[in-house]
Amino acid sequence: MPLDQTKLTKATGQLVPILLIIITVLLSVYALQITRPVTMPLAFAFFIAVLAEPLQTRLAQHVPKWVAMIGVLLVLAGILGLFVGAAELSLELIEPRLPEYGDRLQSLINSAQAWLASYGLPTGSGSQSDGAISQLFQQAIGGVQSLLKAVSLLVLVASFLALLLLEVNDYRDRTLRAFPDQAGQHIVHAVDSMGSKLRRYFLVVALTSLMTGLLTWGWCIILGVGLAFTWGLLAFILNFIPTLGSIVAAIVPALVATLFQGPGIGAATLIGLAIIQTILGNFVDPKLQGKYLKLSPFVALLSIVFWGWVWGIPGAFIGVPMTAAIVLFANEFESSRPIAIMLGSSE
């Protein structure tokens, strides 16, 4: 009996740390969800600060830090302005065609209802569906416009970013003073290595996204698919979401082309966009994730789903970099390296 009690005590002692880790993880995820209005903008500000750190450092060598910070913010505001302008142009191209698209979809719905009725199958009321598609399009456009005008979110991101940029040149000295032994140098090296790899990843992904958008735009123009600029912009944006974004960027234009220009154009659109996404997405992106981010493809996809669940659509966009930052940082320390190995690529 005492032996059994000893074994039970030992097993309990081994189980308690595991349970504490599980509870800590669950509470952390819950905390991230309920603090989303603050933690999500902070995460975006962190990654933007990582990208802007070289520019901030170079400017700070010639002008005061606050002047350098303002300069970086102006550059970022200009880039954001270009993106918002392109999105607004896309919306302006879509809006005049909404009635046409709505009528076409309504006609297809009516035809489908008539076909079902000819076989004695139940159908929805035609009067209830009249104009529903147009209203749906209008609501979608309104939702996108509201998203573009989320001034409070941008202000919060900009505020966090300004504070991070002011501190970016001092964190090395502070870390070395706080940890005067080898640990301080190790932490600084880990942060610098992580930042360098993330910057290279974002740069190459931005270039491949631009290539994807331009090729999508060009292919849609060749086929005469309507709203070619919109589909190119959509492909550029969604390419920042590995795998899932590529699927959506290929299917949506093909579906719209099928509905309004026939199955032939729709099939050609899908095949062409699938080839573009396959070449740039399935060959380039995995190599980037393995070389710079050191994530396995499964973990990359899982990170999109997880962070999308925690923070919604914005979380899906930064899901891969968020997980990669954790893996890259963990890989620099012996105690946490097993975590990096389990989540990393096999290359």
What pTM value is reported for the model? 0.74
How would DSSP label each residue in 10-43?
HHHHHHHHHHHHHHHHHHHHHHHHHTHHHHHHHH
pLDDT tens across 198-222, in order?
A: 888 888 888 888 999 999 999 999 9
pLDDT tens across 279-326, in order?
A: 886 666 656 655 666 677 788 888 888 998 998 888 888 888 888 888
Q: How far apart are the C-alpha atoms of 228 and 2, rounded to whole Å?
A: 77
pLDDT tens across 254-288, in order?
A: 988 888 888 899 899 999 999 998 888 666 665 66
Which alpha helices (H) appear in the chain, and where do they start and end?
A: 2-34, 36-60, 65-94, 98-118, 126-129, 132-148, 151-167, 171-178, 182-223, 228-238, 244-261, 263-277, 285-288, 297-311, 313-330, 337-343
pLDDT for position 267: 92
Q: How far apart are the C-alpha atoms of 65 and 212, rounded to whole Å?
A: 37
pLDDT for position 275: 92
pLDDT for position 136: 57
Of 202, 230, 206, whose CA–CA distance to 217 is shortest? 230
Q: Which amino acid is at 197?
A: K
Give the CA count within 13 Å in the CB-facing half-sphere of 16: 6
pLDDT for position 274: 92
Return the DSSP state at 96. G
SS (H, E, C) 253-312: HHHHHHHHHCHHHHHHHHHHHHHHHHHHHHHHHHHHHHHHHCCCHHHHHHHHHHHHHHHC
Q: What is the residue whose two structure tokens read 């009067």?
A: 127
pLDDT for position 173: 79
pLDDT for position 4: 60
Q: What is the pLDDT along the chain (347 residues), one digit of tens a residue?
A: 454 666 656 666 667 777 887 888 889 889 988 998 888 888 988 888 888 888 888 888 888 888 888 888 888 888 878 877 777 777 777 767 667 666 776 777 777 777 767 766 665 554 444 455 555 555 555 555 555 556 667 778 888 888 888 887 777 778 888 877 777 788 888 888 888 888 888 888 888 889 999 999 999 999 998 888 989 998 998 888 877 888 888 998 998 888 888 889 989 999 999 999 888 866 666 566 556 666 777 888 888 889 989 988 888 888 888 888 888 888 877 777 787 777 776 55
